[in-house]
Structure 1
Amino acid sequence: MISILIAAAAALFVSILLTPYLIRVFSRQGFGQEIREEGPQGHKAKRGTPTMGGVAILVAMWAGYLAAHLYNRFSTPQGREPSASGLLVLLLTSGLGLVGFLDDFIKIRKQRNLGLNKTAKLVGQFVATIAFAILATRFPDSRGLTPASVNLSFVRDIAVVSFGIIGFIVFCYAAVSAWSNAVNFTDGLDGLAGGSSAMVLATYTVVCFWQFRYDCKTLVLAGCYEVRDPLDLAVIAAAAMGGCLGFLWWNAAPAKIFMGDTGSLALGGLVAGLSITTRTELLMIVIGGLFVVEMMSVVMQIAIFRATRRRIFRMAPFHHHFELAGWAETTVIIRFWLLAGVCCMFGLGLFYSEWLTASGG
């Protein structure tokens, strides 16, 4: 528990101090955000706001994780080394962050709202995800558990739904691509993606710690969990949550910096990686319900427009629909945060109720 608190506190400290430094540096370099011409008119005033702030979240996440392990090394007799599961999730997150950084950098250099083309972005996501998926089926521990399972999962593996190695790689790519794009779509208002991500990561900190408390490795108990490194995953979730909260201090409306694709793609990769390594892929759909709604609004808008030449929303993603309906930006943000919080609480409730059922409680 102490290592989780240290990870969150260290990441919060690094993020809240590093972000204003990035604001100054990026402002001097002219790394300002370009705004969509067809977007809400109120957003035009945001043109030139520094972007690529996701760098602060990534650095803070790594700092929090390393601080927690530094504490473990000196506070416990045997220490706890970084785990295979933890490092794979961190590398997946950093790989997606690099893709987002390149996308942001091209937007800035070419002074347009389009960075990497779709093919280049998909290739970047593909490389990061394939490396994660292949390595996640290796490195078994003493029980033979690997960082990820080839079975589909809700709160535990669903044994009757097995992908096989090839199918699992395809599934990982679909999950990482979907979640990274979902968070990216949500990142359209000041603080919306950062605050929502912090809630999701706080929820996963609890989930991972609960799995650690009731790990089948240490308990012979009905309802225990077979997850390779749940405590290390809790440390990562807590560190990323701290990074998001520190960044949110400067990203809240009116934002002084945007996370850009650097942050949104990285956070999407992180939640996908956590869901896969904790065996909760379907539960993540509930916990990250706001991201799902945002992505589905874009899918529905495109599909219905192509079929009928009519738009179901004033503008997609969904949050822009309410802006164009006359809601103030801060009103949209706070209400969507409430929606994200409800999804997180409902998901945590499902997780706990399943444990009560499985343990006979």
Structure 2
Amino acid sequence: MQIFIVALVISLVVSLGIYPLVIPFLHKIKFGQSIRQDGPKSHLKKTGTPTMGGFVFVLVPIIVLAILMPQALLDTKIQIVIISYVGYSLIGFIDDFLIVVKKNNDGLSPSAKFLLQLILAVIIFFMYRNVSSMGILIPFTHVEIDLGWFYFVLILIMFTAESNAVNLTDGLDGLSSGCVLIALAPFILFSILQGEYGLGVFLMAVFGSLLAYLKNNFFPAKIFMGDTGSLALGGLLAAVAMVLKQEILLVVIGGMFVLEVLSVIIQVTSFKLTGKRVFRMAPLHHHFELGGMNEKQVVLMFWCIEAVFAIVGYLMGVL
């Protein structure tokens, strides 16, 4: 157990040391966030806040794992998780870079971003099918059902949906990073219970680095993760759920992300069919914000809800 704590502490301390250097550097090179003009007006003051801060919590944990457990990098399942993490981060980086260059919120087109996410999911699937079954575990029963090639469809949905869901949730200071930290906890426990210690060490390193990011991202944020971080975290959660055979529980453990996506789907569908909006603004966190709650209150409320989802998901996985 000692190595898990060491991974967390090293990653936390190193990342805490890096962010005070990264933030002024990103300011200097004018890598600032562009804020949606159609979003809450209170967010316009965040324009220019350094973005792409996610690259720190993507790179640091990989280096920490390579130092503490270099042999783990030979494990195909861990390779899949790292490729997912870095791959989706690179897609996000391209999007962020284009936004910074154009000085508006138009980065990669939705179709181009989706295509890249899809291609990466296909690569991950073919890597995974060589080391595991195409089945899913049914909660409470511990029965595995073989989906055959339908598992391929499931993986495509998981990766594209989860990466975009975390991205949608990244709309308030500390919201997405806090929810991901909470969602990581059950998966860390699952990895230890299943004897996947290398994966557990890596996730603890991610936890430590993400905690350092949250310190700088909580209201008022000094830095944003950008798509560089949000797409990476979504890809990470999907990959971890896959290699730990907790695909179904990803929906429960990541319940807050599911609610955010559903709010957007409901809002768009309602407006197209009836011309009326169900929420004051979507995603869901903006609905509460425009209802009079301040940013901190919304974030803390969502963290609490996500904690309930995480606990329920964990219990479903062990009972």
TM-score under structure 1 length normalisation: 0.85
Structure 1 counterpart of 2:135, from 151, 176, 179: 151
Alpha carbon RMSD of aligned pairs, Å? 1.5
Cα deviations across residues 214-245 of structure 1 (Å, max 9, x unaligned)? xxxxxxxxxxxxxxxx2222122212111210
AA of the residue aligned to 1:188:
G
Q: Is the 8 A contact 1:12 1:246 kept in 2?
A: yes
| Map 1:25-44 → 2, pairs under 5 A | 25-44=25-44
Cα-to-partner distance string for 1:266-304 (whole Å, 9 max, x where unaligned): 000000000100000111111111111111111111111
Q: In structure 1, which of residues 190, 194, 210 is the aligned counterpart of residue 177 of structure 2?
A: 194
Matches within 5 A, 1:1-361: 1-69=1-69, 82-138=74-130, 146=131, 148-155=132-139, 158-160=143-145, 162-164=146-148, 166-212=149-195, 230-353=196-319
| Partner SS state of residue 153, structure 1 | strand
TM-score, with length taken from structure 2: 0.95
Question: What count of residue pairs does the alignment treat as equivalent?
Answer: 318
Q: C-alpha distance in 2, partners of 1:274/1:80?
A: 15
Conserved in 2, the CA contact under 8 Å of 1:8 and 1:64? no
Question: Are the counterparts in 2 of residues 10 and 60 from structure 1 also a CA contact under 8 Å?
Answer: no
Percent identity for Structure 1 against Structure 2: 36
Instruction: Tell me, in whole angstroms, the C-alpha distance in 2 between the residues paired with 1:158 and 1:121.
Output: 36
Q: Distance in 1 between matches of 2:204 and 2:49?
A: 28
Q: Structure 1: which 5+ runs fail to align? A: 71-78, 139-145, 213-229, 354-361
Compute the displacement of 1:154 (Å): 3.8
Separation in 2, partners of 1:179, 1:335: 21
- With over 3 angstroms needed to count, the CA separation of the structure-2 counterparts of 1:105 and 1:311, relative to structure 1, is same
In terms of mean alpha carbon deviation, does 54-63 or 43-52 score higher?
A: 54-63
Cα distance, 1:14 vs. partner? Answer: 2.2
Distance 1:84 1:279 in 2: 15
Task: Structure 2: give runs of 5+ residues left out of the alignment.
Answer: none
Give the deviation of 1:82 after TM superposition: 3.7
Q: Displaced runs of 4+ in structure 1, greater than 3 A? A: 79-82, 154-160
Equivalent pair of 1:314/1:324 in contact (CA under 8 Å): yes
Cα offset, 1:352, TM superposition: 2.4
